[in-house]
Amino acid sequence: MKNLEALIATIPNRVWTTLLGNEARRGVDVVDQLFVYGADYFSTYMTTLIASMASLFSNAIYVVVYVIFLLLEQETFSAKARNMFQDDEQRSEFQIIMRSIHEQIQTYITVKTIVSLITALVSFAAMMLFGLDYAVVWALLIFILNFIPNIGSVVAVAFPVLMALLQFGDWTTVGALALALIIIQMINGYFIEPRMMGNQLNLSPFVVLVSLGVFGAIWGITGMFLSVPLTVILMIVFSHFDSTRPIAVLLSGDGIVHGVQIDEPVNVVAPISTHQPSITP
């Protein structure tokens, strides 16, 4: 938090210096151009933007707490199942659902944490190599935002690139840093994570995108963090009931949920035989 406060405090001066430096190199009277560029307004906007990162960190803490309590509750599900269901078959079905949810959510959280940590550490090394200020803050932000599917990695790259623009004012350096961070994200997102995750979740990419928007609209940033785990839970629950199994199939990536597969249409019309029966006199 101290690094965040220090970063926020330096934003106005950095914007001021960047604008003045660029205009001075162009030989423009910086005093006359001051109000044209609205440096004060831009500084205020950037300060507000960076300050919102503190709220993001707070939401991430809430998400961690939610997940911890969810995993701790797994230990009591067996006892609850015995008291909730008198029928052995219903109790067994409930325990299977809970076990499947636990395994898939645990796999997702473990893999996502490892991949996000690798991404953050490699990005931190790249930012330190370029001499970017507050690299620790940006690395922590990259680690957290990578838990948000699809758009998280984009936002995670945008913040340090914007900081590089304010710090260096050199498009070559900024472009090189942006390219390095994008390559790191692509390697982890398209190669490392799929190999570690495999087809464990089996969610349709389109469904992931829709769930991100839906849960984000309901719970904001917290909903974005929880969108994938919540969708996985819904798919698992839906797959165990005949009436909702088609919904689970639609949510899945390959049409297979817990061994249930939508088969190819079967031709119910009997083939016409071309064999002519022989007539014996």
Q: Kindly report each contact of residues 106-110 with a partner whose C-beta sits within 8 Å and lies 24 or more positions away, as own/partner.
A: 106/71, 107/197, 107/200, 107/201, 108/197, 108/200, 108/201, 108/228, 108/229, 108/232, 109/67, 109/229
Q: Is the pLDDT of residue 83 over 60?
A: yes
What's the predicted TM-score (pTM) here?
0.67
Kindly report which listed range (38-52, 66-80, 225-239) carries the lowest average pLDDT score.
38-52
- pLDDT per residue over 177-230, tens digit each? 999 999 999 998 888 888 777 666 788 888 888 998 998 888 887 788 888 888
Provide the pLDDT confidence category of residue 238 given band limits of 50, 70 and 90.
Answer: confident
- pLDDT per residue over 1-15, tens digit each? 555 555 555 555 555
Q: Mark residue 258 as left, alpha or beta (left: phi above 0; alpha: psi -120 to 50; beta: remaining).
A: left
Instruction: Check residue 169 and give its pLDDT.
Output: 82
Q: Give CA–CA dist 201/115, Å, rounded.
A: 16
Q: Is the pLDDT of residue 111 over 80?
A: yes
